[in-house]
């Protein structure tokens, strides 16, 4: 939000708030700014340093961003731990998880990739597995 001190042709002075400098310029150009005392649209900006204040929404967004960053770091650490303490079976994950579940393969922690269909199949058969969320750096 930005506040401007404005004045009309008759010398009335008032203060008005706008979403941004661009929003103010647009409204002034389209004569949407009106003097509250006489209704004149002949408005000009009076010399004053504009005051810019952060809204609560800005603060909430900043909070959400830092929370998201924190969460991403936690997930990254968690994933690293899982990777280091389990065997990478790559795309054979679903098959291997099933074999371990059926005691056809030695019981151990594994990680790898599974298609949505494979994951659904594992869930349907009651085979426990976790899904690792995709992290921002994964798309690099």
The dihedral sign for the CA sequence 29, 31, 33, 35: positive
- CB of residue 3 to Zn ion, shortest distance in Å: 18
Phi and psi of 39, rounded to 5°?
75, 10
Q: Of 19 and 32, which CB lies nearer to Zn ion in the complex structure?
A: 32
Any contact of residue 35 with Zn ion (CB under 5 A)? yes
* Measured distance CA(14)–CA(28) in Å, rounded: 14
Q: Is 3:51 a contact under the CB 8 Å cutoff? A: yes
The token pair at 107 is: 């019981």
Any contact of residue 37 with Zn ion (CB under 5 A)? yes
Beta strands in the chain (DSSP E): 2-8, 13-18, 43-45, 51-52, 87-90, 110-112
Number of residues that bind Zn ion (CB under 5 A): 7
Q: Of 39 and 128, which CB lies nearer to Zn ion in the complex structure?
A: 39
The residue within the footprint of Zn ion, chosen from 5, 12, 98, 99 (CB under 5 A), is 12
Any contact of residue 40 with Zn ion (CB under 5 A)? yes
- CB of residue 11 to Zn ion, shortest distance in Å: 7
- By CB under 5 A, what part of segment 49-108 binds Zn ion? none
Site residues for Zn ion per CB under 5 A: 8, 10, 12, 35, 37-38, 40
């Amino acid at each position: 939000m930005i506040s401007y001190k404005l004045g009309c042709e008759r010398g009335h002075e008032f203060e008005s708030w706008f979403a941004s400098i661009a929003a103010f310029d647009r409204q002034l150009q389209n004569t949407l700014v009106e003097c509250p005392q006489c209704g004149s649209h002949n408005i000009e900006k009076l010399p004053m340093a504009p005051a810019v204040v952060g809204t609560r929404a800005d603060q909430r967004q900043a909070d959400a961003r830092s929370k998201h960053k924190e969460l991403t770091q936690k997930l990254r650490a968690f994933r690293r731990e899982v990777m280091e303490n389990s065997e990478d079976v790559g795309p054979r994950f679903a098959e291997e998880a099933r074999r371990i579940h059926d005691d056809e393969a030695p019981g151990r922690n594994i990680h790898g990739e599974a298609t949505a269909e494979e994951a659904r199949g594992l869930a349907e058969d009651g085979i426990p597995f976790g899904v690792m969320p995709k992290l921002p750096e994964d798309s690099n």
